[in-house]
């Protein structure tokens, strides 16, 4: 079985420095694919490169999409993150150890994060 590492997907990221820091964290965890959806600042961005330190390779191959639907179109399995209580008819999991055990190892998987100031909207989660 070929194991495909998950992509990290940032929806409407606001600060380029945060994107660089995400790239550093990804690199430390062995993750390689970063996707941005409608970033606030022009991309690519020098501040992202600077804050990524030795993880420039992730920044330089980051894919950018205008819409979340476009970004997710090639994924088989997506996990959305939220810190807010929701009243949606969607399955949820609070035990990330169990959740990661359930990730399909041979499918294209994404982990979705929302904007720094508000997180994912209900529309993003639908």
pLDDT, tens only, 28-41 = 999 999 999 999 99
Q: What is the pLDDT of residue 93?
A: 57
- Residues 19-36 have a mean pLDDT of 97
Eight-class DSSP state of 5: P
- Residues 85-108 have a mean pLDDT of 66
Domains in the chain, CATH or no CATH each: 7-125 (3.40.1280.10)
Degrees (nearest 5) of the Cα angle 72, 76, 77? 85
- Residues 104-112 have a mean pLDDT of 86
Contact of 3 with 65, CB cutoff 8 Å: no
* 103: region left, alpha or beta (phi > 0 left; psi from -120 to 50 alpha): beta
pLDDT, tens only, 44-94 = 899 999 999 999 999 999 999 999 999 999 999 898 877 666 565 555 556
- Residues 15-26 have a mean pLDDT of 97
């Amino acid at each position: 079985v070929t194991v495909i590492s998950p992509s990290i997907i940032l929806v409407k990221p606001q600060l380029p420095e945060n994107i660089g820091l995400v790239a550093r964290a990804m690199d430390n965890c062995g993750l390689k694919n970063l996707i941005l959806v409608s970033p606030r600042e022009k991309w690519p961005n020098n501040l992202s490169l600077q804050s990524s330190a030795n993880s420039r390779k992730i920044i330089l191959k980051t894919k950018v999409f205008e819409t979340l639907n476009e970004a997710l179109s090639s994924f088989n399995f997506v996990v959305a993150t939220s810190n807010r209580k929701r009243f949606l008819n969607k399955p949820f999991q609070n035990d990330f150890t169990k959740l990661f055990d359930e990730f399909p190892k041979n499918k294209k998987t994404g982990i979705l994060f929302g904007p720094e100031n508000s997180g994912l909207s209900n529309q993003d989660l639908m």
